[in-house]
A and B are shown apart, each in its own frame.
Chain A
Amino acid sequence: GAVVSQHPSRVICKSGTSVKIECRSLDFQATTMFWYRQFPKQSLMLMATSNEGSKATYEQGVEKDKFLINHASLTLSTLTVTSAHPEDSSFYICSARLTGSSSYEQYFGPGTRLTVT
């Protein structure tokens, strides 16, 4: 149980285009999902916290107009990288927290490798 999927797993796009990444909790409901960015040989950096039915909370330094997050249902959150540039190339990971749980445990998706050319 507690499986999180991401789609696509890899995407290559041209500079200036937008890319949408989906994060789904497959067998549980997730009121809260998190979006991370992982740089090579570095840790996961939290970008934003996504709450179902409300606006996402962005971490300091993360441009909310560039990284659009939508959490339209209890099993789906999307991250759209708008007007992508090469510096946006990275590994994006989502995670989900089980609705109703008092635990801080998060279940992670497999990640999406974004390459902007």
Chain B
Amino acid sequence: AQSVSQHNHHVILSEAASLELGCNYSYGGTVNLFWYVQYPGQHLQLLLKYFSGDPLVKGIKGFEAEFIKSKFSFNLRKPSVQWSDTAEYFCAAYSGAGSYQLTFGKGTKLSVIP
């Protein structure tokens, strides 16, 4: 079964600092990978996704992620965070099941200090 692991439970950064959140998946087949963000009190929103092609994926709000197949990784990055990026970030992967199920990581809470 697919599993997704996120390395950091809580990350605290100052504004303008660079961000990298780790994500590793276990599925060895064709992968679809996602990063979702959940702002306080709001629902999950898609930040970016990878299906195929260029392993460097650019998403909304200046976020990007790099798919490294050899490392089974899909780390999320942003060169300069803002206070408004304070949120919970979830990495997700297609589980390999026929019904399009996604497997989520446990999430990383990002707190950005002004």
> Residues of A with Cβ closer than 8 Å to B?
4, 32, 34, 41-44, 46, 49, 51, 57, 93, 95, 97, 103-111
Evaluate contact between A104 and B94: CB separation under 8 angstroms. Answer: yes
Partner of B107, one of A4, A42, A105: A42
Most central of B9, B44, B94, B101 by chain A CB within 10 Å: B44
A-B contact count (CB 8 A): 50
Query: Contact: B90 with A44, CB < 8 Å?
Result: yes
Give the distance in Å from the alpha carbon of A33 to the alpha carbon of B25 in the complex: 23
Total residues of chain B contacting the partner, CB 8 A:
23
| From B32, B42, B90, contact of A104 by CB (8 A) | B32
Query: Which of the residues A32, A104, A109 comes within 8 Å of B43, measured between beta carbons?
Result: A109
Indicate if the CB atoms of B46 and A105 lie closer than 8 Å. Answer: yes
Asked if A57 and B99 sit within 8 Å, CB to CB, the answer is: yes
